[in-house]
A and B are shown apart, each in its own frame.
Chain A
């Protein structure tokens, strides 16, 4: 079967750095994506890792280790608007089929 594990909640202060981990067990792994979802809104794409290593996009970075079946999302210089849910999602075929984790709720405090 397919499963992803991520922490349910993380709290951090404005300006800090936070890391959200994701471990997965899937067959036919193609890549790992991260999506952000504000309360009541639609998910929006943040990043994709197809190969091992770090991908950086502005304040956000994402890391993948295929051998460890592990990835993380790193958010730097946290802002209040970063308070949202963050989902890792495994892509397990070239059709783009996604299996989502249950999400991590990030609360940024002043």
Chain B
């Protein structure tokens, strides 16, 4: 199993551009999550999904959108990128939510200039 994979690894965007961060898991997990981590800080939940077709907001959803059309994929869309969105983005998944261990992808390092 590849686990949780994310693409791209690095990206530089100009202010106002849009992009999609890809996340795929091959563990048949129902729950998937998007976090951002600013330097020296903890992770903050952006959006999460409890299954295909179901998504909900986390702590910091503004400026982002998600979709979950399949169990495997959970893309994160940035519209009108702003410098405040410069961060490392991690995707994670777990089998049944709750206390279940979350498995994290390697992250996408995004810079908005």
Contacts and interface: CB of A to CB of B under 8 A. Distances in A.
Contact of B100 (A4, A43, A44, A96): A96
Nearest to B100: A96
Nearest to A31: B99
Contacts, number: 68
Contacts of A102: 40-42
Interface in A75-105: 87, 89, 91, 94-103
Contacts of B99: 30-31, 33, 48, 50, 91, 96
Interface in B55-101: 56, 58-59, 90, 92, 94, 96-101
B48 A43 contact: no
29 contacts: A4-B42, A30-B98, A30-B99, A31-B98, A42-B104, A42-B105, A42-B106, A43-B92, A43-B102, A44-B104, A45-B102, A50-B99, A89-B42, A91-B98, A91-B99, A94-B98, A95-B48, A95-B50, A96-B33, A96-B94, A97-B45, A98-B33, A98-B45, A99-B45, A99-B59, A100-B42, A101-B42, A102-B42, A103-B41
Interface residues of B, number: 29
Interface in A43-85: 43-45, 48, 50
B105 to A, nearest CB: 6
Given A96-B31, A100-B43, A43 B104 contact: yes
A90 to B, nearest CB: 11
Chain A interface: which size bin? 20 to 34
Contacts of B97: 94-96
A2 to B, nearest CB: 8
A94 B56 CA distance: 14
B58 A97 contact: yes
Contacts of A95: 31, 48, 50, 56, 97-98
